[in-house]
A and B are shown apart, each in its own frame.
Chain A
Amino acid sequence: MESKAGAEEAPKSGAMADLRYSLHLMSRNKLVLAGSVLAAGTILVALLAHVIVPASATVDDRAIRICWNNSLINWHIPSINVCPRPLPLGTDAYGRNLLLMIILAVPLDLSIALEIVASAVVIGLVFGSIAGYAGGIVDEAILRVTDIFFAVPGILLAIVLMTVLGRTIPNLTLAVLITWWPLYVRLIRSQVLSEKERPYVEALRAMGAGRFRILFRHVVPNSIYPLIVQSTLDIGSVILTVSTLVFLGFAPSNIATGQTPELGSLTSQGSQYIFSAPWLIIFPGLTILIISLGFNLLGDGLRDVFDPRLRR
């Protein structure tokens, strides 16, 4: 008997092998690899922004406003101002180095996006899991509330909220969050709903486990994979939404005018000079595109990694 039990050898296991397989799945797809590199790059830039960029970079220098001095790109604009020294992306309307301003904008946008997505995930986990697990009238009530939010177009709702609440960064975060959380409640609810019918939940009940223990220790961890994918995808979308709102002018005055750089406001500022100084709108816009694309590709990749059909 002992020897037979020993013969039931299990495969070599461990978190490391698991991680290695995940990385293997991700690296197999070139687009996903690109996404991970872009997302990692964005986070790195955000973390180092205030180290790379000297404080003096934000000081106005009207003498060299909107000038270009980069021999690699010729804009073919006759009235272009030429900067006294070479600058990779020229200067903005305040005469500041545009590249440094874009770098400074990344941590602001990324932190707003992370706050929004993290809050939406927490709200979604709490209300979604309760709705899914409790069912009945609780479920109905929570779902109808999310329906109300789904009924109003997101940007419009955010604009209304910003107008009512006032144009500050916390209000901007709140406004986008309010349009964003219902999605997560729905997502978690549907996961919990299917997960709670699984036999192991019945087994747990049979073992005398309490309701909250079953829900938060067993059902929720099993429901969380789509949430990881969705939240990664959403970091890109939230950055896009936030910069759209700022572009439209829904931001505190120091940001809306571009004095404190933010990707949306830099783009908005550049839109006034779209024919005379196109770099002012192209490069901040391109940055938004690259960051969103990066997180979207990464999210797609994570979906592959977590796909149970590839796993078990």
Chain B
Amino acid sequence: MTSQASVQRGSDHEVVLEVKGLKVSFHTYLGEVKALDGVDFEVKRGEVLGLVGESGCGKTVTALAIGGLLSDNAKVEAGQILLEGKDLLKETKDELRQTRLREVSFVFQDPMTFINPVLSVGSQIAEILESDKGFQAELVEYRIAELARAESKAGLTPAEVEEKRSLEGLKDKKLSKRSLRRLAKLRTLDYMRTVRLPDPERVYNMYPFELSGGMRQRVMIAMALVRRPKVLLADEITTALDVTVQAQVLRLLADLRGKIDASVVLITHDLGVVSEICDRVVVMYAGNVVEIADVEELFANPMHPYTQGLLASIPRPDVFTKEIKSISGSVPNLISPPSGCRFHPRCPKRFERCPLVKPPLIEVEPGHRVACLLYGG
């Protein structure tokens, strides 16, 4: 399996995040829930990776494991999570906190409840920048670059020239609280503009309850982006929004792709969303990765019976169907998961070896991997 991963790395995109053989279990009163059973995938620089599967298949657990945010009853049994080569699972609490602050950031499902209701949204974004010493030099550089851009475009006012000179003197020194505040606010406003919040100066001082769902989700995205993370984990970000706002947020994400250097892991159960903005897709089922492919390839040529079932169950307006097809059965209980391939009890193409052997993830075509015994293994 690792050999295939290294083949991938040889392609034009370099790998930012690599999850290898990740096994996570939860200890509950009913028994041990084997939530993730050997999850392998990688995220390349600058791509949007879709992580799809039905509820309870381990998408969110994977994301939380990457951020080191699993609850206390969870245990990582095996595996590695490599962010540019360093294993996040081996980091101490403080190192993990730094990682979350600077390298991996989250956007959550429900923007209503994931923002502190009593602080203005702008101050909550700016606070992130003010809270850590690591951002100071970056803030100064950012502002200088911004002024330089303005200079080449339209020239600067005398005040701005003065500001640029003083900032250049400040480059490696500790900022005063006031100038830190001001720079953080300027950068926050800039990012609020980037996520297309209308009238950022006014929205900066508004409270979450004064904003619409779409605006709140933009605030969350700005909050995640302002730290310039390497990986952005977006967990069901469109689920709580209505369809028109969903489209806006997705378009925003698609447009941001060229402007930010973060790779995006988009967790969703909505294949429509995946087809719209993802580059590659990882399909998960019951704690396993069952298929990985480029998005066009996956939709044109789904190989795993689960993926085939998933695609067949999307209602299509252009084809008249009496009844929407569904995958029979339901997600297995992960306390005692099915033996061998976890999908075999529901699989229409199962044969005698399925309950006996756990299928490995095999590269069947370049860039298209599938974990199914039909294709070997």
A-side residues, CB < 8 A to B, are 1-2, 4-6, 8-11, 13, 198-200, 202-210, 213, 217-218, 221-222, 311-312
Contacts and interface: CB of A to CB of B under 8 A. Distances in A.
Given A199-B110, A203-B108, A221-B119, 17 more contacts: A2-B196, A5-B248, A8-B198, A9-B198, A10-B210, A10-B212, A200-B117, A203-B114, A203-B220, A206-B67, A206-B105, A207-B100, A208-B99, A208-B101, A209-B131, A222-B118, A312-B117
B113 A198 contact: yes
Given A10-B212, A200-B117, A312-B117, A207 B196 contact: no
B161 interface: no
Contacts of B209: 311-312
Contact of B100 (A8, A10, A198, A208): A208
A218 B116 CA distance: 7
Contacts of A222: 116-118
A311 B117 CA distance: 12
Contacts of B69: 202, 205-206
Given A1-B251, A2-B196, A10 B113 contact: no
Interface of B: 67, 69, 97-102, 105-106, 108, 110, 113-119, 127-128, 131-132, 196-198, 202-203, 205-207, 209-212, 214-215, 220, 223-224, 227, 248, 251
A256 to B, nearest CB: 46
Contact of B108 (A2, A8, A199): A199
Contact of B113 (A199, A209, A217): A199
A31 B98 CA distance: 53
9 contacts: A1-B196, A2-B196, A8-B198, A8-B212, A13-B210, A199-B108, A202-B69, A208-B97, A311-B209
Contact of B210 (A2, A11, A199): A11
Contacts of B99: 208
Contacts of A13: 202, 205-207, 210
Contacts of A5: 196-198, 248
A245 B183 CA distance: 56
A254 B71 CA distance: 61
Contact of A213 (B131, B206, B227): B131
